[in-house]
Amino acid sequence: MICSIISIQGLHAQRYSKKKILKDLKDLPGFEQAFVGFKLVDSKNGKTIASQFEDKYMTPASNTKLFTLYAGIHFLGNNIPALQYIIKDDSLIFWGTGNPLFLHPEYNDTTAFHFLKSRTEKLYYWPRPMEDDRFGPGWGWDDYNGYYSAEKSVFPIYGNSVTAYLNKEKKTIDVSPSYFKPNFKLKKDSLIRLRSYTQREEFENQYEYAFPSNHDFDIVDYSAVDTLTRPFHYSTDLFNALLSDTLKREITLVEKPKNFRLAQTLYTSLSDTLYKHMLQESDNLFAEQILLMASGLESDTLSTEAIIQKTKTSLFRNQPDELVWEDGSGLSRYNMFTPRTITNLLSKLHKELGEERLFELLPAGGISGTLKDWYAGETEPYIYAKSGSLRNNYAISGYLKTRKGKILIFSFIVNHYGHSSDQVKESIEALLSKIRTTY
């Protein structure tokens, strides 16, 4: 279908001019009634090759995580604070830094766990303050049950989520962390056939795991999605109970210690693990917590608003347009960036991180992360970029490696489209492929 719109015959002989790019931005399927912003820049000389509405504010979705990456790298560096603590006589008082890696099911950073487990002192936990609500401004709060909406917190644990899956041998359900096992009940649902689901009330941690009513745990070819991860409703009491249960030790809650400023910090070196997971899997909790961690370097109160303001004034003073920036993940529909602001950021990242590290962090077309099924090259990736989507909005910004070996920087934002997201992606892929072949 796309091939009939954009013929690739003779592309080596015919240059894909700015005029032709702009024509395709208007004519390709999915773009007709949408608001399409685009900018393409040569990374070597900084010259603009083509642009459309590059100075217009648009909804960036998870392209916002590129700004979070830049803030994290500059403020946190390579050493990520795992926790902070004070020792006084036979007591150890500790508190969180916002690090989301603690006991995370995929990237289980045990630095803080082994530290606390090995201490001989009595353990006391201070729940440091956080200015943020559990969700950010402009988020869809009715998405509380979605795997992508884990709640922000001062001390994340287990990714602030619980995972349940059907155990066909035992004909029951397994839960991790096991603390939540009593909170789950099985339910057969006649309205579902091939897809299990689990849900809870917004402010409760009682879960209902539903599966097809015709499933008796003995069906070998049962093809339902039977492993489900869902957020739990976070609270200080729940954190304390979870940590106590995991450590098998009593932990007592205390108020802010008077000698807070004399705290020692325990670090983990998994910085690129943190950034890579945020970018490749588009993990919203990681993105939010990166900003919260950065804010905690200068204050006892974690605050996304404070660190965004500091980032704007210290790192983005020379941006072509003011940043309308509300959260770390891009879940907020209040975020607005222009395509030229994003390409400017990508240029800074390219110069400061270098291609090897940067391309390792980003999803690679046809290979990894959210781009695994899109933008594939014949033998190797040619797109390294961050994509993002909210309903009727799709964005992808990053780097394009041409057949001639050039690195081009691009930002492609399609807002308010009426077609399927796959149609929009196919058209973007066709246009980027043509640029790759002809430049």
> Exposure pattern of 393-408 as b/e (b: 16+ CB <10 Å)?
bbbbbbbbbeeeeebb
pLDDT for the residue numbered 56: 99
Q: What is the arithmetic mean of pLDDT over 367-377?
A: 97
d(CA 369, CA 174): 27
Of 3, 102, 8, the residue nearest 437 (C-alpha): 8
CA–CA distance, 338 with 6 (Å, rounded to integer): 27
* Residue scoring higher pLDDT (300 or 194): 300
Residue 310 lies in a domain: no
DSSP 8-state secondary structure symbol assigned to residue 63 = G
| Pair 51, 171 in one domain | no
**For position 166, what pLDDT does the model report?**
76
Q: Would the pLDDT of 323 be above 50?
A: yes
pLDDT > 70: percent of the chain: 92
Q: What is the DSSP string of 87-113?
A: EETTEEEEEE---TTBT-SSS-B-HHH
pLDDT cut 90: percent of the chain above it: 80
Claim to verify: residue 162 and residue 267 sit in the same structural domain: yes
Local structure of 171: helix, strand or coil = coil
Residues 206 and 212: beta-carbon distance below 8 Å: no
CATH number of the CATH domain containing 391: 3.40.710.10
Length of the chain: 439
> Do 362 and 263 have their domain in common?
no
Name which of 332, 323, 296 is nearest 153 in CA terms.
296
**Looking at the domain assignment, is residue 389 inside a domain?**
yes
Among 250, 276, 302, the domain boundary falls at 276
49-68 residue pLDDT tens: 999 999 999 999 999 999 99
Amino acid 91: pLDDT: 97
Q: Which of 98-112, 157-171, 173-187, 360-374 has the highest mean pLDDT?
A: 360-374
28: in domain: yes
> If phi over 0 gives left and psi between -120 and 50 gives alpha, with beta otherwise, what is residue 133?
beta
**Taking Cα atoms as reference points, which of 434, 384, 376 lies closest to residue 407?**
384
Which pLDDT score, from 0 to 100, does residue 10 have?
42
Domain end (from 224, 249, 276): 276
Cβ pair 274, 101 in contact under 8 A: yes
> ∠ at Cα 394 (390, 399), nearest 5°?
130
Average pLDDT over residues 188-209: 78
> What per-residue confidence (pLDDT) applies to 81?
97
Q: H-helix or E-strand containing 39?
A: strand 35-42
pLDDT in tens, 64-116: 999 999 999 999 999 999 999 999 999 999 999 999 999 999 987 889 999 99
Q: Is the pLDDT of residue 293 over 50?
A: yes
The token duo for 256 is: 């802010």
pLDDT band at 197 (very low <50, low <70, confident <90, very high): confident
Q: Is residue 326 part of a domain?
A: no
Asked which of 261, 276, 291 is the last residue of a domain, the reply is 276
> At residue 5, does pLDDT exceed 60?
no
The answer to whether residue 261 sits within a structural domain is yes
Quote the pLDDT of residue 150: 97
Q: What are phi and psi of 308, to 5 degrees?
A: -65, -40
Whether residues 41 and 110 fall in one domain: no
Q: Where do we find the tokens 């489209």?
A: 417
Number of separate domains in the chain: 2
Q: 15 φ, ψ to 5°?
A: -75, 140
Q: Is there a single domain that holds both residue 218 and residue 264?
A: yes
Report DSSP letters for 352-404, one per residue: HH-HHHHHHHS-BTTTSGGGTTSS--SSS--EEEEEEEETTEEEEEEEEE-TT
Going by pLDDT thresholds of 50, 70 and 90, the confidence category of residue 218 is very low
pLDDT computed for residue 217 by the predictor: 52
Q: Do 262 and 143 belong to one domain?
A: yes
Rg of the chain (C-alpha set): 24
Give the pLDDT mean for 135-156: 94
Please give the mean pLDDT across all residues of the chain: 91
- Does residue 232 form part of some domain? yes
In the predicted model, is pLDDT for residue 385 greater than 70?
yes
The SS3 of residue 433 is: helix
CA-based end-to-end distance of the chain:
24
Residues 30 and 90 in one domain: no
Whether 226 shows a pLDDT value over 70: the answer reads no
Check if the beta carbon of residue 5 is closer than 8 Å to that of residue 28. yes
Lowest mean per-residue pLDDT among 81-85, 163-167, 182-186: 163-167
Are residues 31 and 93 located together in one domain of the fold? Answer: no
Examine residue 29 and say whether the peptide bond preceding it is cis (omega within 30 degrees of 0): no
Q: Supply the range of the domain harboring residue 24.
A: 2-60+336-438
On whether residue 81 sits in a domain, the answer given is: yes
Residues 53, 95 within the same domain: no
Residue 321 lies in a domain: no
Residues 105 and 236 in one domain: yes
Residues 177, 246: Cα–Cα separation, whole Å: 9
pLDDT band at 216 (very low <50, low <70, confident <90, very high): low
> What pLDDT sits at residue 280?
98
Cα distance between residue 153 and residue 103, in whole Å = 14
